[in-house]
Amino acid sequence: MIILDQVDKVFPGQNIPAVKQVSFQVDEGNICVFVGPSGCGKTTILRMINRLIEPTSGDIYIKGQKVSDKEVNPDQLRREIGYVIQQIGLLPHRTVEQNVALVPRLLKWPEDKIKPRVRELIDMVGLDPDEVTHKYPFQLSGGMMQRVGVARALAADPPIMLMDEPFGAVDPIVRGRLQDEFLRLQKEMKKTICFVTHDINEAIKMGDHIVIMNKGELVQHGTPMEILSEPANDFVKDLIGVDREMKLLDLTRSSEVVNRDKAVPDQVRENDCFISALDPVQRALETMMKKDSDIVGVRDGEEEIGIICWDDLKKLINKLSGDA
Amino acid sequence: MDFEMERFISALIDRSPPHALVHLQLVLIPVIVAFLIAFPVAVLLTRRRFMKYTDRVMTIFNMGQTIPPLAIIAIFFPFLGLGREPALFALTIYALLPIARNTLAGLKGVPQEVKEAARGVGMSELEMLTRVEIPLSMPVVMAGIKISVVLTSGTAALGALVGGGGMGAVIFAGIDFFRAELIVAGTLIIGAIAIVLDRILSLIDSILTPPHMKV
pTM over 0.90: no
Contacts of A92 (CB under 8 A, 6+ apart): A136, A137, A138, B111, B114, B136, B210, B212, B213
| Residues in chain A within 8 Å Cβ distance of B133 | none
Q: Are strands A209-214 and A192-197 parallel, antiparallel or unpaired?
A: unpaired
| Residues in chain B within 8 Å Cβ distance of A153 | 121
Residue B47, φ and ψ in degrees, nearest 5: -80, 145
Q: Give me the pLDDT at residue A111, please.
A: 92
* Contact assignment for A89 to B211 by CB distance below 8 Å: no
Q: Which spans in chain A are helix H?
A: 42-49, 74-79, 96-100, 102-106, 111-124, 129-132, 142-154, 172-189, 200-206, 224-229, 234-240, 244-251, 254-257, 266-271, 281-291, 310-321
Burial readout B16-38 (b: 16 or more C-beta within 10 A, e: otherwise): beebbebbbbbbbbbbebbbebb
Is A89 touching B (CB cutoff 8 A)?
yes
Q: Give me the pLDDT at residue A19, please.
A: 92
pLDDT of chain A along its 324 residues, tens only?
A: 899 999 999 999 888 899 999 999 999 999 999 999 988 999 999 999 999 999 999 999 998 888 888 888 999 999 999 999 988 889 999 999 999 999 999 999 999 999 999 999 999 888 999 999 999 999 999 889 999 999 999 999 999 999 999 988 888 888 888 898 999 999 889 999 999 999 888 998 899 999 999 999 999 999 988 888 888 899 998 888 878 888 888 888 888 888 888 888 888 888 888 888 888 888 888 888 888 888 888 888 888 888 888 888 888 888 776 654
Task: Identify the CA nearest to A43 among candidates A9, A91, A3, A73.
Answer: A9
Q: Which of B116, B121, B210 sits opposite A92 (nearest CB)?
A: B210
Cα-based distances in Å from B74 to A314, B66, B205: 96, 15, 36
Q: Alpha-carbon distance A60 to A77, whole Å?
A: 13
* Contact assignment for B117 to A90 by CB distance below 8 Å: yes
| Residues in chain A within 8 Å Cβ distance of B111 | 89, 92
CB B104 within 8 A of CB B47: no
Q: What is the DSSP letter of A199?
A: -
Q: Which of A106, A136, A137 sits opposite B122 (nearest CB)?
A: A106
Residue of chain A nearest B124, judged by CA positions: A75
* Contact assignment for B136 to A93 by CB distance below 8 Å: yes
Is A51 touching B (CB cutoff 8 A)?
no
Is B7 touching A (CB cutoff 8 A)?
no
| Residues in chain A within 8 Å Cβ distance of B114 | 89-92
- Give the number of A-B residue pairs with CB atoms closer than 8 Å: 70
Is B208 touching A (CB cutoff 8 A)?
no
- Cα A203 to chain centroid distance, Å, stands at 6
Q: Which of B116, B122, B212 sits opposite A92 (nearest CB)?
A: B212
| Residues in chain B within 8 Å Cβ distance of A149 | 117
* Contact assignment for B116 to A89 by CB distance below 8 Å: yes
Average model confidence (pLDDT) across chain B: 90
Computed over its alpha carbons, how large is the radius of gyration of chain B? 20
* Contact assignment for A89 to B123 by CB distance below 8 Å: no
CB A240 within 8 A of CB A216: no
Q: Give me the pLDDT at residue B1, please.
A: 67
Q: Give me the pLDDT at residue A120, please.
A: 93
User: How many CB atoms sit inside 10 A of residue A233's CB?
Assistant: 11
A contact test, residue of B48, B110, B115, B121 with most A CBs within 10 A: B121
Q: Give me the pLDDT at residue B190, please.
A: 93
- In this prediction, does ipTM exceed 0.85? no
Instruction: Name the percent of chain B lying above pLDDT 90.
Output: 56
Sheet holding A19-26, edge to edge: A19-26, A2-9, A57-62, A65-66
Is A6 touching B (CB cutoff 8 A)?
no
pLDDT per residue as tens digits for the range B60-104: 888 888 888 878 878 888 888 888 888 899 899 989 999 999 999
- Cα B17 to chain centroid distance, Å, stands at 22
Count how many Cα atoms sit within 13 Å of the Cα of residue B201 in the half-sphere of its side chain: 22
Residue of chain A nearest B132, judged by CA positions: A91
* Contact assignment for A50 to B120 by CB distance below 8 Å: yes
Q: Give me the pLDDT at residue A324, please.
A: 40
